[in-house]
Amino acid sequence: MTIYAAPGTPDSLITFKSRYEHWIGGQWVAPAQGQYFEDISPVNGKPFAEVGRGTAEDIEAALDAAHRAAPAWGKTTGTERAAVLNAIADVITANLEMLAVAESWDNGKPIREVLGADLPLAADHFRYFASLIRAQEGEFTEINGDMIAYHYAEPLGVVGQIIPWNFPILMATWKLAPALAGGNAVVLKPAEQTPVSILVLMELLADVLPPGVVNVVNGFGLEAGKPLASSPRIRKIAFTGETTTGRLILQYASANIIPATVELGGKSPNLFFEDVASTHDDYYDKAQEGFVLFAFNQGEVCTCPSRSLIQASIYDSFLGDAVERTRKAIQGNPLDTDTQVGAQASNDQLEKILSYIDIGKQEGAALLLGGERVDLGGDLTDGYYVAPTIFEGKNSMRVFQEEIFGPVVAVTSFEDYADAISLANDTLYGLGAGVWSRNGNLAYRAGRDIKAGRVWVNNYHAYPAGAAFGGYKSSGIGRENSKAALAHYQQTKNLLVSYSEKAEGFF
C-alpha cells in the first residue's frame, strides 16, 4: 500500500503552478482577455489552480500557431513522426508517477487505475501509432500498361479536438496519436472539469514536439469549444461527449464541409448466460469481476457496463454473489493505491447521479446496494463520492436507458437467447457490450447479434490500441484506436499518371 502525498503538501510528486495559461506554439500564452477559472479537485472539492479561460481570440492564436507548424510537420517522413511519438511515450513512462498524481488530483480517479491503465495505455497508444505510420504503405493500381494510379495518404492539415473529462490524458492520447501520426497539427480543447493534467504533460513535451504541432486552449464550451468546432480554419473536428453537443458539432462541420468524428456514449449491456455459473471456478470469479466493472472509474466510462442482464435460471445466485462482490470494492482516498473507487469528477456530475438514483427509486427499481453520497471525512469530506449502487428493475426504466455516468448498474433478467439479444439491443446506443458464456458458439453469435461497435467476450473494459473502438446507432460516428483511427486523420491523394507519349485521341 502506498498513499501518494497530496499536491500542495511537502512530499507531493507534483507542484502545480498557481496559474496555467494556454499552451500555444510550444509556450505558455496568457488568455487574450486575461480571464481565468478555478480548477477544482474532486478529491476534496477545493480549487487548486487557475486555468486560462479561452475565447475566440485564443482559439485564433492557437490556429495561427497550428497553421504555421502544419506544412513542415506534414512533410516529415513517417519515420520522423514515429520517432516523435515514441519519444512522447518515453516521456510518459519516465514521469509515470508524477503524471498519475496530477491526473488523479484533477479527475478524482483512483491512482491505481492511472498507474496501471490510463498512463501505460497512453504510452502504448503513442507507440502503436508510431509503428502504424512507420509501416504504412501507399498503394498503386496499374490501370493499364501506360497508366498508373498512385494513392498516397496525406495529412488533413490542422484539426480540432475536444476531449472529455473521464480519462483526460488517455482520451487526449486517443485523438492526438493518430492525428500526429497522420501528419496533422492540432488545436485541442480539454474539458473544463479536467484542464490541468494535459498541460502538465504538454510542458514535459516542450522539447519533443515541434512548436505549434499541438496547441492546447482551455475554457468553456460556449467560449472556446464553439469557436474551435465552428472554425473554417480546421479540416476536421473530433469530439467525445454527449448527443446534443455531438449534433451541434456535426452541424458546424456540415457548414464548413469538413469531416467530423463523434463518440457520444452508450448504455452498454453486460450479458451473463447461465453456463457462467455451472461451476464456481476462476472463470466464475472473472465473470463476477466483469459485473463489478460497472464501478470502474466510478462509472465514468462511455462503455460502462451499466445494464447487467442475467439469465433467469442463475439470476438470484449470480446477482447475490455479485452484490457481495461489489460490497467489497474499496472506496477511499484516490491517492491510496488500495483504493478501487474514487471521486466523481465534478459537483454537477455528483448531483446528476443522485437525481438518477431518485428517479430509479420513484420508478420502483429495487435498491440492492449503495444509493447515496459517501462522506469520507477528514480532508476528503467535501469530495464528490458516490457509493457503488445496484438497482434491480425493468429495461424500460430510465435508469436502464440513460447513461448515468456514475457507479450505478441496473440489473434485470432474461429468459433465453432471443430475450437476451432483444433486451441488449433495446437502447438508443450501441457503443459497448459484454457477453459472458463458456460456450464459444453462443458467445460468438451473441457478439455478432448485439448492435454495438465493441463487444467484449469473456472480458470487459480492456482497451488495447489495436482494437477498433466506436459506436453503432446514436453512439456516434467513426472509430478510435487501430488503423481505423489513422484513416480518420488522412485523406487520399491520387496521382493518375500516364506513361504514354500518344495523344488521348479526343481532339
Partner 1 sequence: MIEAEVVLDGETTSRVALTDTAIELLRMLWGKHGPLMFHQSGGCCDGSSPMCYPAGELITSDADVRLGRFDIAPDGEPAQPVDFWMSREQFTYWSHTHLTVDVVPGRGSGFSVEGPEGVRFLIRSRLIDDEP
Q: Which residues bind partner 1 (CB under 8 A)?
A: 37, 40, 53, 164-166, 191-193, 220-223, 225-226, 240-248, 251, 263-266, 300, 302, 346-349, 351-352, 355-356, 358-359, 362-363, 396, 398, 401-405, 428-429, 474-475
CA–CA gap between residue 226 and residue 79 (Å, rounded): 35
Give me the catalytic one of 302, 304, 402, 403: 302
* The three cell numbers locating residue 447: 457478439
Q: Which is nearer to partner 1, 226 or 488 (CB)?
A: 226
Question: Among this protein's residues, is 304 annotated catalytic?
Answer: no
Q: Which is nearer to partner 1, 19 or 75 (CB)?
A: 19
**Least spacing, CB of residue 138 vs partner 1, in Å:** 36
Nearest to 88 by CA among 165, 167, 179, 16: 179
How large is the angle between the packed helices 197-204 and 168-181, nearest 10 degrees? 40
Residue 273 half-sphere exposure toward CB, CA atoms < 13 A: 23
**Least spacing, CB of residue 225 vs partner 1, in Å:** 6
**Least spacing, CB of residue 346 vs partner 1, in Å:** 6
Q: In what order do the strands lie in the sheet with 307-311?
A: 366-369, 389-392, 408-414, 307-311, 269-272, 432-436, 454-457
Q: How far apart are the first and last CA of the chain?
A: 82
Q: Which is nearer to partner 1, 24 or 40 (CB)?
A: 40
- How many CB atoms are closer than 10 A to CB 258? 19
* Cα three-residue angle 458-463-465, rounded to 5 degrees: 130
Nearest to 342 by CA among 407, 250, 247, 427: 407
Q: Which is nearer to partner 1, 356 or 436 (CB)?
A: 356
Phi, psi at 40, each rounded to 5°: -105, 130
Question: Among this protein's residues, is 263 annotated catalytic?
Answer: yes
* Cα three-residue angle 266-39-215, rounded to 5 degrees: 75
Q: Which is nearer to partner 1, 268 or 311 (CB)?
A: 268
Active centre residues (catalytic): 263, 302
